[in-house]
Amino acid sequence: MELDAFKDQLKLQLENNRFYQKPDLLQSALLMKVNSVVKKIKQSVVTETALAIVASVAFVYFALAYPSFSFRIYFGVFSCVSIAFVFALLALRVKLHRLDDDLSVKQNLIDTHSVTKAYVRHYFRFCMILLPVCLCMAVFVFLFEFISVTPNQSIFTPYMFSHLWLPLIICYCLFSLGMYFFTKLYLQKLYGEHLHLLENLIQELENE
């Protein structure tokens, strides 16, 4: 059967058919939750921004008010990280709000792909950046608060190397490796397939 013959037959069928959704069902559709990846990312970004602002305020407060100097440094570093995170999230929000369903299909796919990819990249980078920051801060607090190293005391002696730095470096490497693969796998599971699908659709539209 030719497509044009199919089209004519379909038209005949459609003229005899009436199935309409009742207006009250349409109205209830306007109140429901949505399921698209972009909408979910939008919701996640709003939640993460709110949490990052609360964390920033708390960290700044503790950085200024905590009695112990090393903990003040610790909270100060984390307040810088969380404030930077707030700005990164706000930039992503601006990008997300520029997405418009009124665009052509191709442009919409390109924009959705670029925003989803940006979100995944930002999430991955943030996780990876936090690893050395957390480790350095943990060591810093441990040395100055719990084993009371004085500023004049060397922390790079052979004894410290074998009893502190070496086990610490090994633990850090193992933990970082685990986190690296876990984060990759987690993001791949959540967004990998969808990103791949979008890439294929864009590619297919571009091909002649």
Partner 1 sequence: MEEKEFIELITNHQRIIYKVCNLYAQSSTDKEDLFQEITLNAWKGIRNFKGDSLFTTWLYRVALNTALTFKRKENRQRKVDNAVDSLAFPHEQQPEADEQLAAMYKAINELSDIDKALITLYLDDYNYSEMGNVLGITANNVAVKMNRLKKKLKEESEKYLNNQ
Given candidates 72, 95, 122, 194, which one binds partner 1 under the rule CB under 8 A?
A: 194
Nearer to partner 1 among residue 17 and residue 148 (C-beta):
17
CB 143, CB 168: distance < 8 Å = no
Report if residue 15 touches partner 1, rule: CB under 8 A: no
Residue 95 in 3-state DSSP? helix
33 Rama class: left (phi>0) / alpha (psi -120 to 50) / beta: beta
Cα–Cα distance for residue pair 70/78, rounded to 1 Å: 13
- Using CB under 8 A, count the residues that bind partner 1: 44
Sign of CA dihedral 180, 186, 189, 193: negative
Nearer to partner 1 among residue 13 and residue 152 (C-beta):
13
Contact segment (CB under 8 A) with partner 1 among 15-23, 43-51, 59-67, 83-91 equals 15-23
With residue 105 as reference, give the H or E element that holds it. helix 105-141
Q: Least CB distance from residue 167 to partner 1, whole Å?
A: 44
Q: Least CB distance from residue 129 to partner 1, whole Å?
A: 28
Nearer to partner 1 among residue 52 and residue 198 (C-beta):
198
Nearer to partner 1 among residue 37 and residue 51 (C-beta):
37
CB 91, CB 48: distance < 8 Å = no
Q: Least CB distance from residue 15 to partner 1, whole Å?
A: 11
Report if residue 46 touches partner 1, rule: CB under 8 A: no
What's the DSSP call for residue 47? H
Tokens describing residue 47: 């939640």
CB burial class (10 A; 0-12, 13-18, 19+) of residue 149? Answer: middle
Provide the 10 A C-beta neighbour count for residue 76.
Answer: 17
Q: Least CB distance from residue 48 to partner 1, whole Å?
A: 20
Report if residue 6 touches partner 1, rule: CB under 8 A: yes
Q: Which amino acid is at 125?
A: R
Q: Least CB distance from residue 109 to partner 1, whole Å?
A: 6
Interacting residues with partner 1 between 81 and 140 (CB under 8 A): 100-109, 112
Where does this chain bind partner 1 (CB under 8 A)? Answer: 1-4, 6-7, 9-10, 13-14, 16-17, 19-21, 23, 26-27, 29-30, 32, 34-38, 100-109, 112, 194, 198, 201, 204-206, 208
